[in-house]
Amino acid sequence: MSDAIAQLREMLRPKVGGPDDLFRVAWAAFRGGDYAEEVIGGELSEADAVAKLRSWVNASRTISDDPGEADRGGGDFASHQAALAVVTASRASGDDAVIAWRAAHLPQMLTSSDELRAWVVARMRSVEADSPEAFGEQLGTTVRWVNFEGLREFRYTTGAPVLVELAQVARRLWRYGWREAEATTFVLTGAVPMVPMIRTKIGGRIALQVHPATPPAEVARAYAEARVTVLPGRARLISARVAAAVLVAHTTPGTWEARNRELRRRGEPGYATGDDMRRTVERAEAKLMGERPGHRPIDQV
């Protein structure tokens, strides 16, 4: 950690308050977001830095001590997610595998992308020099991490045992919802990844993977946002009578008058004219498919 950042941390710590463990993970998130550099460079005020760190520490304490407190106090989704991120990182820091690996291989946290890259490459080179026949074969693995500045993934294939163990520890942290690159970066630097609350996959259907801490309203919002990319209209229920007309329209050949007669024969009220039935069916299809009425006439289906 550079002298300027170390001095900034010491200066901010008493002003932020809160337990040391929560401040530690809040500071990791602060560093991971390059906020420390912004304070040093004059882009972020000291007061804003204290407020940001204090909000993370306080929100983390709330979620950790009383899961119902956030619901009683309202709050916004971004703060909720940030608090979840630092609490998750705190739990991950206590993972036995993380503790053991750090104790064995990392006397102090790395603080920049350059340090991280140099640390990985140095261990790759030691393996290439000592046992080139093993490189990338029996002990081969891919080390992935996130660049602090651009949030890009860096990947190296290596056979170094210490890096094989690192990749195994990172995969162990998948249960927290992190990508391997994010987990590797966390183990090496303490930088806190944001926990993905909702992952959306859109195809013929919309699939949502939802973190249990996600508020129901956010799930509804995510579904609505995903749906409009597939179907631009609103999703609305149709009545049983209209559903019967749609079924008859798609199973009865002939004119709309013939379909209307078939609808009545099945015990349904029917419509005044075949044209009335056609317009009703077209509107119903538009509702079902999220289209504008008349977009796909029944006779063209």
Please list the rounded mean pLDDT of every run of 10 residues in the chain (301 residues): 80 85 72 73 81 67 39 54 81 90 86 77 59 38 63 64 87 86 86 79 82 83 78 70 92 93 92 93 82 52 38
pLDDT given for residue 234 in this prediction: 60
Residue 189 β-bridge partners: none
The tokens for 291 are 């289209």
pLDDT given for residue 33 in this prediction: 58
pLDDT given for residue 128 in this prediction: 41
pLDDT given for residue 154 in this prediction: 65
Taking the chain, what is the end-to-end CA distance rounded to the nearest angstrom?
A: 66
Which run of H or of E encompasses 59? helix 46-65
Query: Residue 269, exposed/middle/buried by CB under 10 A (0-12, 13-18, 19+)?
Result: exposed
pLDDT given for residue 32 in this prediction: 58
The amino acid at residue 19 is: P
pLDDT given for residue 291 in this prediction: 65
E-strand ranges in the chain read 141-146, 153-158, 198-202, 206-210
Q: Is the pTM of this model over 0.85?
A: no
Give the list of residues 6+ apart from residue 80 with CB closer than 8 angstroms, or none: 59, 70, 213, 215
pLDDT given for residue 175 in this prediction: 86
pLDDT given for residue 109 in this prediction: 78
Please identify which residue in the block is written with the tokens 């104790």: 103
The tokens for 261 are 């007669």
Separation between Cα atoms, residue 1 and residue 21, nearest integer Å: 18
